């Protein structure tokens, strides 16, 4: 298996400016020491609650934010240190699909132009070939050919998301970061888009980083899942392991809190107390300890390492002093 993306100790802090001379009063620890890798053709799901840094992680990987520390390797090329100009030729290999299909498309351009633009930026093909390509793209994502001259506002949310997807796959990328691609869509449309994404993955051999707060959706599309809490990965493992035998107490609570639309089965819910603390001043020790049902003294003092607890060949990493421990 070929590793396509490797992230090492990635950090992204946003400074908080205060006063007239804008001195830095503190830092938002949006992404705090995150390491993982993704192999070609897989879908790595990233889940977590609002403010856990999953979107920032996605954007920092793509160099849309400059990382504060750490390294991002794309196919063994260190991309995190490159300047924008150096990065441009590589950019066509990794793309992004955004959450809000209403804001991620330029409302003043026709769909034809929106889809043609990637080719123009990378100076590929001539006008005629480009139009051909755009037509093929529309077909691939299930839109009609007469969409070319229409503007984004003439489409529904689901169709706009299809346009966003067409734009992302225009240059045959290898990696796509999907940032909450179906969260803004209605239930009956969600499955259409998820099917499209899965079909495209098997047709084009794409690798997805699939960011979402919807745990059921992530389970369905992912091979592996990383759970984030307050800027850090607290558990990363195969999707089946995460959902069936979670080790970290936060993962356990998260999985148990999912409302399930199947009647009958009673699930024992773990209801966490309190709220996610502020990422400006994360708690000492393990960031999760103030809400953790099994926290001990050591949890208040030392942040646990991400350790592989798997008993077989597979990988199940968790960052908890008492991983797997039942209360």
Binding site for other proteins (CB under 8 A): 43, 49-50, 156, 158-159, 186-192, 194-195, 198-199, 213, 215-217, 219-223, 239-240, 243, 253-254, 257-264, 269, 271-272, 275-276
Report in angstroms how near the CB of residue 57 gets to other proteins at its nearest: 17
Report in angstroms how near the CB of residue 112 gets to other proteins at its nearest: 22
Which of 75, 214 has the CB closer to other proteins?
214
DSSP, collapsed to helix, strand or coil, labels residue 160 as helix
What secondary structure does DSSP assign to 179-214, as a single string? ESTTTTS-HHHHHHHHHHHHHHHHHHT-EEEEEES-
Taking the C-alpha atoms of residue 279 and residue 14, their distance in angstroms, rounded to an integer, is 10
User: What are the tokens at 213?
Assistant: 């707060």
Report in angstroms how near the CB of residue 50 gets to other proteins at its nearest: 5
Taking the C-alpha atoms of residue 107 and residue 304, their distance in angstroms, rounded to an integer, is 47
Which of 108, 265 has the CB closer to other proteins?
265
Report in angstroms how near the CB of residue 143 gets to other proteins at its nearest: 13
Taking the C-alpha atoms of residue 27 and residue 280, their distance in angstroms, rounded to an integer, is 6
H/E element holding 154? none
Which of 20, 271 has the CB closer to other proteins?
271
Report in angstroms how near the CB of residue 148 gets to other proteins at its nearest: 20
Which of 82, 198 has the CB closer to other proteins?
198
Report in angstroms how near the CB of residue 269 gets to other proteins at its nearest: 6
User: What are the tokens at 94?
Assistant: 């990794």
CB atoms within 10 A of CB 71: 15
CB 282 within 8 A of CB 228: no
Reference 229, options 209, 252, 251, 258; nearest CA is 251
Which of 183, 310 has the CB closer to other proteins?
183
CB 251 within 8 A of CB 234: yes
Which of 80, 251 has the CB closer to other proteins?
251
């Amino acid at each position: 298996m070929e590793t396509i993306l490797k992230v090492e100790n990635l950090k992204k802090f946003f400074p908080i400016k205060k006063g007239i001379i804008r001195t830095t009063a503190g830092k938002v620890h949006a992404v705090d020491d995150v390491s993982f890798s993704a192999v070609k053709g897989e879908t790595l799901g990233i889940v977590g609650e609002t403010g856990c840094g999953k979107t920032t992680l996605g954007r920092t990987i793509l160099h849309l934010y400059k990382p504060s520390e750490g390294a991002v390797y794309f196919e063994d090329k260190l991309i995190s240190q490159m300047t924008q100009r150096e990065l441009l030729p590589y950019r066509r290999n990794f793309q992004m699909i955004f959450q809000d299909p209403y804001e991620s498309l330029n409302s003043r351009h026709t769909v034809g132009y929106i889809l043609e633009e990637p080719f123009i930026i990378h100076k590929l093909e001539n006008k005629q070939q480009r139009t051909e390509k755009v037509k093929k793209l529309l077909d691939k994502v299930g839109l009609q050919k007469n969409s070319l001259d229409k503007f984004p506002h003439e489409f529904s949310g689901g169709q706009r998301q299809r346009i966003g997807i067409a734009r992302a796959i225009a240059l045959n990328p290898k990696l796509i970061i999907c940032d909450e691609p179906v969260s803004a869509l209605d239930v009956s449309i969600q499955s259409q888009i998820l099917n499209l994404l899965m079909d495209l993955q098997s047709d084009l051999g794409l690798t997805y980083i699939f960011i979402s707060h919807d745990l059921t959706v992530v389970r369905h599309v992912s091979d592996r899942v990383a759970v984030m809490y307050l800027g850090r990965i607290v558990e990363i493992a195969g999707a089946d392991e995460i959902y069936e035998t979670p080790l970290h107490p936060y993962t356990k609570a998260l999985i148990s809190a999912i409302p399930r639309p199947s009647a009958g089965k009673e699930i024992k819910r773990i209801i966490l107390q309190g709220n996610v603390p502020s990422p400006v001043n994360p708690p000492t020790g393990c960031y999760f300890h103030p809400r953790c049902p099994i926290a001990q003294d050591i949890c208040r003092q030392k942040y646990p390492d991400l350790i592989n607890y798997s008993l077989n060949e597979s990988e199940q990493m968790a960052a908890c002093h008492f991983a797997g421990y039942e209360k």
